[in-house]
Amino acid sequence: MTLEPASPALPTPGPLAGQPHQIVERDGVRYTLLGTAHVSQASVDAVRDAIGSGAYDAVAVELDPQRLQALTDPDALAKLDLIHVIRTGKTALFAANLALAAYQRRLAEQLGIEPGAELKRAVLEARQRDLPVHLIDREVGLTFKRASLKLGWWGRAKLGAGLMAALFADEEVGAEEIEKLKQGDMLESSFGEFASNSPALYESVIAERDRYMAARLRADAGNGDAREVLAVVGAGHLQGLARHLRDEQRAPEAIREELESLPKKSDVPWFTIVLATFVLGGFAWGFWRGGIDVGSDLLLQWVLATGVLGAIGCAIAGGHPLSILVAFLASPITPLHPALASGTLSALTEAWLRKPTYADFMALRDDVQTLRGWWRNRVARVLLNFFLTSLGTAIGVWTGGLRMLGKLVG
């Protein structure tokens, strides 16, 4: 195996002149890593000229299939099966992707260029010339999951609040943030200042993806005949990607397996077991020590605390009366069952009764920019139903639990 050091970004003749880049030669393949700014017309032009030069026989881009579809297919969102998203537990991920899309829309409107336009141009130019296109980035949902699992409960709450704020924000993106984006990464910028202040988030969003993309480049080159590969990546990945591509000795498949895995959750739902033991034990204790009056009172307080607050959350979200009823009936039960969630059941009911239309999906990115739009758009209203019903139930669990505890020790 021949390892060549990455060349410094010296003045280069041709289309890469003046553009940040690194060149790494390994295993008979010459990788030209072009660092781009995701909101720069100059980067779009550099990508077009580089591929048009005919110097490369394969093109790799910092995209995964989902992000590529979002960039190249305007109707991609409208093809989404919302009920499947809810049933498979991907509602939070869908909301995170929506926040990213909203952030990109704000940038596009402010700067007059679509964020990631240079990545889209790379794919289109390569396809026009019948060049192989390699999508080397890790799936954004997997990156989000690995990042959130490392943050802990409070970190996840802050991250969720930041993403929700991005959905509602309508002010211009600041000049300092735009400059960071030109030198950094779209996902990192979407998470805002939280990324720079959280080593765990930075590790998952930036450092892990450097390793992952380097492994994908090596694996894709090994599966084809390309000897000159142009890799178009955000400028923030340039140095790390070149280092891993040059120095990494482990097999690409092993690296991908490591970085695509998720920490195995405990097979024992301890929190649910403890909560169910406390609640059901409290009911039993109440009936045994205080008779039917005390036991019934404890049961009624639990049902009212969880059911009413869950139903209120659904009602605030503009839920259908039947969705509100489902929220009321499910909220006292679902906290005691690890596989059920009141927000999921209520949102499924809402999506079934008020099935989102094609127009709702197409207008979604615009509607979530305004508070009124969240209640007008059926897709957004289903999301609100999920989150507010779940929030109401969670508040009800604590309220009902504390009341029960007070009765038992009083």
Model confidence at 3, pLDDT cuts 50, 70, 90, reads very low
Which of 12-16, 393-397, 403-407 is least confident?
Answer: 12-16
The fraction of the chain above a pLDDT of 70, given in percent, is 80
| Non-local CB neighbours of 372 within 8 Å, separated by 6+ positions | none
Model confidence at 392, pLDDT cuts 50, 70, 90, reads very high
Q: Which residue has the tokens 């790379």?
A: 122
Looking at residue 172, its pLDDT comes to 59
Q: For all residues of the chain together, what is the average pLDDT?
A: 82
Asked whether the beta carbons of 205 and 187 are under 8 A apart, the reply is yes
Asked whether the beta carbons of 232 and 36 are under 8 A apart, the reply is yes
Backbone angles phi, psi at 21, to 5 degrees: -160, 160
Question: 180 is written with which tokens?
Answer: 């960071």
On the question of pLDDT at 9 being above 50, the answer is no
On the question of pLDDT at 56 being above 90, the answer is yes
Looking at residue 4, its pLDDT comes to 42
Question: Could you please report the per-residue DSSP string of 182-250?
Answer: HHS-HHHHHHTHHHHT-HHHHIIIIIHHHHHHHHHHHHHHHTS--SEEEEEEEGGGHHHHHHHHHH--S
Of residues 368 and 101, more confidence is placed in 368
pLDDT in tens, 329-367: 999 999 888 778 999 999 999 999 999 988 888 888 778
Count the neighbouring beta carbons within 10 Å of the beta carbon of residue 170.
10
The fraction of the chain above a pLDDT of 90, given in percent, is 39
Backbone angles phi, psi at 34, to 5 degrees: -100, 115
Count the neighbouring beta carbons within 10 Å of the beta carbon of residue 387.
19
Nearest to 388 by CA among 336, 331, 333, 334: 331
Looking at residue 185, its pLDDT comes to 57
On the question of pLDDT at 193 being above 50, the answer is no
What distance in Å separates the CA atoms of residue 386 and residue 150, rounded to the nearest whole number? 24
Looking at residue 289, its pLDDT comes to 80
Mean pLDDT of 98-106: 70
Looking at residue 294, its pLDDT comes to 82
Burial of 189 (0-12, 13-18, 19+ CB in 10 A): buried
Looking at residue 175, its pLDDT comes to 55
Mean pLDDT of 25-52: 88
Helix (H) / strand (E) containing 272: helix 270-316
What distance in Å separates the CA atoms of residue 104 and residue 109, rounded to the nearest whole number? 9
On the question of pLDDT at 290 being above 90, the answer is no
Mean pLDDT of 223-245: 89
Where helices occur in 223-269 by DSSP H, the ranges are 238-247, 252-260
Mean pLDDT of 271-300: 86
Mean pLDDT of 380-384: 92
Q: Which residue has the tokens 């990607």?
A: 241
Task: Tell me, rounded to whole angstroms, the distance of Cα 193 from its chain centroid.
Answer: 17
